[in-house]
Amino acid sequence: MNFWEYLGNRHQQLLADAYQHAGAVFQCMVVATLLGVLIGVSTYQSGWAGNLATLSTSTILTIPSLAMIGLLIPVVGLGVPPTVIALTLYGLLPIVRNAIVGLRGVDPSLVDAARGIGMSRLVRLLRVELPLAWPPILTGIRVSTQMLMGIAAIAAYASGPGLGNVIFRGLASLGSANALNQVLAGTLGIIVLALLFDAAYVLLGRLTIPRGIRV
């Protein structure tokens, strides 16, 4: 069976796996974005706190994904929980780092002007600082998403959802008729999803970033 025949015969299952893969990455990115921005907001004004946040999240990223998921299995079991926890942790670094860089890069004179017209700390953050820091934060989100697309495939080791199951089945049956087709289908599926997500982020940037501060 050639590759195109394989796709034709298994397209429903592949689409279901792709939907699960995209859903897992999207949900984890939402959580990682909220946590990452919160960490960035909490630490950017302090040099040591910002460095600690960046160091901590970068240390997490040095842990091999297979080892991370393996360590989580005895604690939270198989399936979705280890996948969500691992992907969320891995997605933090680019968002935290870019949030800190973006917030520190806001022109102090703009913040002083906002303070001068009576804006509270929270209002300044929401209406001045975060909107101006949004471009680098969005870049961090894009980088995290691309990383998680690939890392999510390892979740199949813990019976997690997604296209990793297709790849693992192919690797487990090397030498069989469809082994290469399975690995190729899973890999190409992840690449296509990554490109679609990135295109969506480009569109989001055009809709949310004023033309004057686009880079």
* pLDDT tops 60 at residue 215: no
What's the chain's average pLDDT? 90
pLDDT digits (tens, 9 = 90+) for 155-191: 887 777 889 989 988 888 877 778 888 999 999 999 9
User: 213, 208, 215, 161: which is closest to 186 by C-alpha?
Assistant: 161
Residues 110/128, Cβ–Cβ less than 8 Å: yes
Q: What's the rounded Cα separation, in Å, for the pair 207 and 210?
A: 8
pLDDT digits (tens, 9 = 90+) for 79-129: 788 889 999 999 999 999 999 999 999 888 888 898 888 888 888 988 889
Topology, domain 3-213: MetI-like fold (1.10.3720)
Contacts of 53 (CB under 8 A, 6+ apart): 39, 40, 42, 43, 96, 100
Q: List the chain domain ranges.
A: 3-213
Could you identify the residue written with the tokens 């087709």? 181
Binned at pLDDT 50, 70 and 90, residue 201 comes out as very high
Q: What is the pLDDT of residue 174?
A: 78
Cβ neighbour number for residue 174 with a 10 Å cutoff:
10
Q: What's the rounded Cα separation, in Å, for the pair 8 and 134?
A: 42
Report the predicted TM-score, pTM, of the whole model to 2 decimal places: 0.89
